[in-house]
Amino acid sequence: MRNDIILGKDKISCQSGKWDEDFHESIFFTGNGRIGMRGYLPCQAEKRPLKSGLYIAGIFEEIKGGITDIVHLPTPVCEEAYLNGEILAVNDGVKRCLDLKNGIFSAEYTLGVGEKRLNVRHERFAALDNLAYIVQRTFLTAEADISFEWRSGISLSARNNPVPDDQVKSNEEIICLFAEEKPLFGKDSLTLNVRTPKTGLKLSYHCSIACGQNAESLSTAKEYAKVNEFAGLVYHINLKKGESISFEKFCFIQASRDVTAFAQYENQAYSYFEAQHKAAWAKRWENIALPSFLDKETEAAANYLAMQLVMNGNAIDETVSIGARGLTHPRYKGCYFWDTDFFLLPFYLKTHPKTARNLIRYRILNLPAAKEHAAKTSAKGARYPWMASFDGSEQCESWDIGFSEIHITADVVFAIDDYIKKTGDESLYPDAYTVYIETARFFSDRSTRDIEGNANLLFVKGPDEYCGITNNNLFTNMLVKHNLKLAITAAGELSAHYPDLYSQLLITEDEVSKWKNLENDLPIARNKATGRLQQDDTFHLLEPIEITKLKNGDGASYHQITFDRVQRYKVIKQADLLLLMTRMPEIFTAEERIKAWEDYEPVCLHDSTLSFASHALFAAQNGLKEKAEFYLNKALFLDLHDLMGNTGKEGLHLANFGECWQALASLDCGSSPQ
Say if residue 238 is in the same domain as residue 369.
no
Q: What is the pLDDT of residues 75-84, one digit of tens each?
A: 999 999 999 9
Same domain, 232 and 319: no
Residues 66 and 373 sit within 8 Å (Cβ to Cβ): no
Percent of the chain at pLDDT exceeding 90? 84
Owning domain of residue 397: 303-668
Task: Kindly state whether residue 289 falls inside one of the protein's structural domains.
Answer: no
Condensed to tens digits (0 to 9), the pLDDT of residues 507-554 reads 999 999 999 999 999 999 999 889 999 999 999 999 999 999 998 888
Residue 263 neighbours by CB distance under 10 Å: 10
pLDDT tens for 165-195 read 766 677 788 999 999 999 999 888 999 999 9
Integer Cα distance of 265 and 262 in angstroms:
10
Q: What is the pLDDT of residue 268?
A: 79
Model confidence band, residue 660 (pLDDT cutoffs 50, 70, 90): very high
55 near 203, Cβ under 8 Å?
no
Query: Which pLDDT value is given to residue 555?
Result: 85
d(CA 165, CA 247): 42
* Whole-Å CA distances, 646 to 20, 465, 522, 555: 16, 19, 39, 9
Q: Indicate if 245 and 324 belong to the same structural domain.
A: no
**Residue 443 is part of a domain; what is its CATH number?**
1.50.10.10
pLDDT value at residue 227: 58
| Residue 149, helix vs strand vs coil | strand
> In this predicted model, what pLDDT tens digit does every residue of 469-501 receive, in sequence order?
999 999 999 999 999 999 999 999 999 999 999
156 in the same domain as 75: yes
**Per-residue confidence (pLDDT) for residue 578, from 0 to 100:** 98
* C-alpha dihedral, 351 to 35 to 276 to 349, nearest 10°: -10
Distance (Å, whole) CA 100 – CA 311: 11
pLDDT at 102 > cutoff 70: yes
Rounded to 5 degrees, what angle do the CA atoms 299, 300, 301 make? 90
Residue 149 domain-assigned? Answer: yes
Q: Are residues 413 and 500 in the same domain?
A: yes
Kindly state whether residues 161 and 237 are assigned to the same domain: yes
Please, are residues 444 and 400 in contact by the beta-carbon 8 Å criterion? Answer: no
Does residue 520 lie in a domain region?
Answer: yes
Number of domains in the chain: 2
How confident is residue 241, by pLDDT bands cut at 50, 70 and 90?
very high
Q: What is the largest CA-CA distance in the chain?
A: 91
Q: What is the pTM of this model?
A: 0.96
Question: Looking at residues 457-467, what average pLDDT do you find?
Answer: 94
Mean predicted lDDT score pLDDT of the chain: 94
Q: Could you tell me the CA-to-CA distances from 74 to 23, 130, 252, 332 in Å, in that order? A: 21, 20, 13, 20
Residues 330 and 433 in one domain: yes
Same domain, 78 and 206: yes
| Residue 674 clears pLDDT 60, i.e. is over it | no
How far is it, in rounded angstroms, from Cα 427 to Cα 166?
Answer: 40
Once rounded to an integer, what is the mean pLDDT over residues 100-109?
A: 97
Q: For 605-637, how does the pLDDT look when each residue is reduced to its tens digit (9 = 90+)? A: 999 999 999 999 999 999 999 999 999 999 999
